[in-house]
Structure 1
């Protein structure tokens, strides 16, 4: 099973305005691959608040490929895999809505929210946001860079595996009693 952490940055308040994606693959007890790409959203409307968060501007993506071209090499890895995201409702929402906006099927995959994992394994009154958990665990990364955020998400999952003495991330999910949520459709062929 492919285990892959994903993170998106958006141009504005719309979930279908992805302007960056980051991915980090886990194999065994390590992150073995990382990818990060800027992409052109369907419209070049960037909200000032979003720019303040991630620093990506319309000029940075104007001549870049759009979501379908950027994501095409990774959809097979997502299909039938376990996808991790910190605050999965946001990132997986971006993935689903943007695929639908381009008329692309949502691949079938299970997902696990590392925010939920962190709340159970690393609870803290200060909160369990990505940067707070990463700081507490000594994970160094540049927050709001999609590739860096995906890497931090993957490392949080691996830290939780170690802290719980789980065999791997799927075993951790079962140990914590977190439901295996499936998304998308499977090919009938």
Structure 2
């Protein structure tokens, strides 16, 4: 049985420095959210809260491949609210803590933007970071930088494709990178990692990016030693 965790009261997350976000989707249709996981990083540099919400996709079409990945089926979400119901709860937290984290942020931010567009909701102003890019910069020797690989390397608990667990692991990756850089905040870690935050607001989107120097260094690092 799928278990939901409520989004905490806004007062309980005051002072958070970032929110990690993970979406699971019912299909490839734009904005087809069926599950959302969240993890808050507190000022004390630990995960203070997690949440998991089931969401009813607008068209209720579930692709078998998506179901095979996350195990969520139409009957699990039949009586859940659609995305605007989740958004009404989430927006105050994004206004209070306007930095999002996602592992492979291109996917999750893309899902967020598509869901907002589907329901005619204006996006808030926020910044976001991709923990795939963070992991590539901080631990280039890993065989790949998928969430299970990085979480396993760092000893983070993970139930992959359970959205709350994925979000908590994403937050853990950011915290581990901060610790490795011996920095107190994510912002202080970014110059050494060569990462520029993504930006989202009404009428504007800028992806999270790595510097050209960092991308070139990563490509060189992935070559066999005799070709570097």
Fold match by TM threshold 0.5: yes
Which of the numbers 18, 22, 28 marks the counterpart of 2:33?
A: 18
Structure 1 gap segments, 5+ residues each: none
Asked whether 1:146 is paired with 2:146, we answer no
Whole-angstrom CA distance in 2 between matches of 1:91 and 1:15:
12
- Structure exhibiting the larger radius of gyration computed from Cα positions: 2
- Preserved CA contact (<8 Å) 1:3 1:83: yes
Does 1:85 find its partner at 2:102?
yes
1:142-181 aligned at under 5 Å gives the runs 142-181=159-198
Is residue 57 of structure 2 the alignment partner of residue 45 of structure 1?
Answer: no
Distance 2:176 2:186 in 1: 10
Offset at residue 44 of structure 1 (A): 1.1
Note the aligned Cα RMSD (angstroms): 1.5
Equivalences for residues 108-119 of structure 1 within 5 A: 108-119=125-136
Structure 2: gaps of 5 or more residues: 1-15, 204-228
Q: Which moved more, 1:20-29 or 1:176-185?
A: 176-185
Q: Taking structure 1 as reference, are residues 125 and 153 closer, same or farther at Cα in structure 2, changes over 3 Å only?
A: closer
Contact 1:41 1:66 in 2 (8 A): yes
1:31 aligned to which of 32, 47, 64: 47
Quote the residue 1:96 is aligned against.
Answer: 113
Q: More deviation in 106-115 or 175-184?
A: 175-184
Q: In the aligned structure 2, how far is the partner of 1:182 from the partner of 1:103?
A: 19
Q: Report the Cα distance in structure 2 between the residues aligned to 1:15 and 1:119, rounded to whole angstroms.
A: 28
Q: Distance in 2 between matches of 1:180 and 1:150?
A: 18
Distance 1:155 1:65 in 2: 29
Query: What per-residue deviation string (whole Å, max 9, x for no partner) do you get for residues 110-134 of structure 1?
Result: 0100000000101235200011100
Runs of 4+ in 1 over 4 A off after TM superposition: none
CA deviations over 1:57-88 (Å, ceiling 9, x no partner) = 00000111111001211112223611000000
- TM-aligned CA deviation for residue 181 of structure 1: 2.1
2:77 corresponds to: 61
Distance in structure 1 (CA, Å) of the matches to 2:42 and 2:194: 22
Q: Which has the higher contact order (CA 8 A, sep 6+)?
A: 1
TM superposition shift of 1:175 = 2.9
- What is the aligned length? 186
Distance in 1 of aligned mates of 2:141 and 2:64: 31
C-alpha contact (below 8 Å) 1:86/1:114 kept by paired residues: yes
Report the TM-score when normalising by structure 1: 0.94
TM-score (norm 2): 0.78
Q: For the Cα contact (< 8 Å) 1:5–1:153, is it kept in 2?
A: yes
